[in-house]
Amino acid sequence: MFNKNLFAKKLQNLEPYKVDTGRYTARLDANESFISLPKEVREKMNEAVESFDFNRYPDPDATLLKEAFCSYYGLKCENVGVGNGSDEIINLIMNCFLDYGSTVMTFSPDFSMYAFYATLAGMKNISCPKREDFSIDFDLAYRTVKKNDVKLVIFSNPCNPTGRIERKEDIKRLVQMCPDTIFVVDEAYMDFASIKDSESFLNETENYSNLFVLKTLSKALGAASLRLGFIVGDKTVADIFSAVKSPYNVNGISQKFGEILLTEKAFLDECTRKLTQSVKFMREEIIKKGIADPYETYTNFVFYTDKDAAKKQEYLRQNGVLIRKFGIGGGALRITAGNDEENELVISLLTNRIRN
């Protein structure tokens, strides 16, 4: 008989992150880009593969990828670290930036993996509830940090899964009031926000020793398969990250492909524009058809509460469309914006579900 006592208690009831790998007409569940790379970019990648040294370890510092990323966003390379997706970075933050047993604060609702990695690292995780409209109550957040001696606060902005965005001034006030607490702002979806230049901390991390930003190529830049994430802070944060990560954490092919992709600024800007148009269309159609009243979104997905969320998710699944369901507010749905055909399909199915 299997002996659970052989392993750490935190593993005994651990459930793996479940991903539906079935075949669907439209996969609108993971907030991926629907735009494929053009032939010219693929040809550059194919040429890179032809001369690639597969027998050598990759650059441990991902130098050329980091330079391309910094050029794209206007950053200093000394302030940036590169990870095998944002997940690796979050995991390392929880395991290495804090003392064992420290208190980590997340918000509810927010990206579930923050709390998962905190718990796995042996941290005490507390959740600060958001307001009824899913906005952060910063006064409550401040009181919670002080009362519980919180060492790290992590949240997504714009938020996954609600699509809301918090104002920089509110975040800045909390960061300044809690100088002994680390703040991690995950800006995975900030590229979609029309007000990103005024609300992002990406170009201001040098001003705050206790704040850093996470970025990814998986959303607006459409390279989820490469698993590339970035941590942006002051030089001290980047140096610490470099010290705690494994020496060859990002594989060479992902580094090279990411480098090539980040030089295609015109293409990437057009992708972001198309994705933003797609989500705008989907939200407006959902409202116009009387399906629901989704929250305003600063991401590439729409989110709305629905007491019949489970039934509607299953109805869509049976008809070839995969979306995400959450137990938030009595039930909620999150639908990634797709191409024209995918959007029309999901709107048509949801409309038929209401009528029938």
Task: List, as one string, the DSSP characters of 67-133.
Answer: HHHHHHHT--GGGEEEESHHHHHHHHHHHHSS-TT-EEEEEESS-THHHHHHHHTT-EEEEEEP-TT
Q: HSE on the CB side for 294, CA within 13 Å?
A: 29
Beta-sheet pairing, 211-216 with 229-232: antiparallel
**How high is the pLDDT of residue 34?**
97
Residue 86, C-beta contacts closer than 8 angstroms, at least 6 positions apart: 186, 188, 214, 215, 216, 218, 229
Burial of 172 (0-12, 13-18, 19+ CB in 10 A): middle
Residue 19 has a pLDDT of: 85
Question: What pLDDT score was predicted for residue 2?
Answer: 61
Where does the chain have alpha helices with state H?
Answer: 9-12, 39-50, 63-73, 85-96, 113-120, 138-147, 168-177, 196-199, 235-244, 252-262, 265-288, 309-318, 340-355
How many other CB atoms sit within 10 Å of the CB of residue 98?
18
Question: CA–CA distance from 334 to each of 30, 131, 144, 283, 347 (Å)?
Answer: 9, 19, 29, 11, 13
| Beta-carbon-side half-sphere exposure of residue 51 (alpha carbons within 13 Å) | 6
Predicted local confidence at residue 9, as pLDDT: 81
- Give the integer Cα–Cα distance in Å for 212 and 184: 5
Domain span(s) for CATH 3.90.1150.10 in the chain: 19-38+266-355
Are 238 and 82 contacting, i.e. CB atoms less than 8 angstroms apart?
Answer: no
- pLDDT the model gives residue 3: 72
Q: Which residue ranges does the chain devote to CATH 3.40.640.10? A: 55-264
Provide the pLDDT for residue 79.
97
Q: Strand 301-305: give its sheet, edge to edge.
A: 301-305, 332-336, 324-326
| Interatomic CA distance for residues 59 and 68, integer angstroms | 14
Q: Is 36 exposed, middle or buried (0-12, 13-18, 19+ CB in 10 A)?
A: exposed
**Residue ranges of the chain whose pLDDT lies below 70:** 1-2, 354-356
The pLDDT of residue 356 is 63
Which pLDDT value is given to residue 1?
55
At 17-70, the pLDDT tens digits run: 888 889 999 999 999 999 999 999 999 999 999 999 999 999 999 999 999 999
Element (H, E) at 159: none
Q: Does domain 19-38+266-355 have CATH number 3.90.1150.10?
A: yes
Contact criterion met (CB below 8 Å) for 274 and 343: no
| Type and span of the H or E element at 213 | strand 211-216
What pLDDT sits at residue 15? 80
Q: Which CATH class is domain 55-264?
A: alpha beta
Q: Which residues contact 202 (CB under 8 A, 6 or more apart)?
A: 73, 75, 187, 190, 213, 215, 232
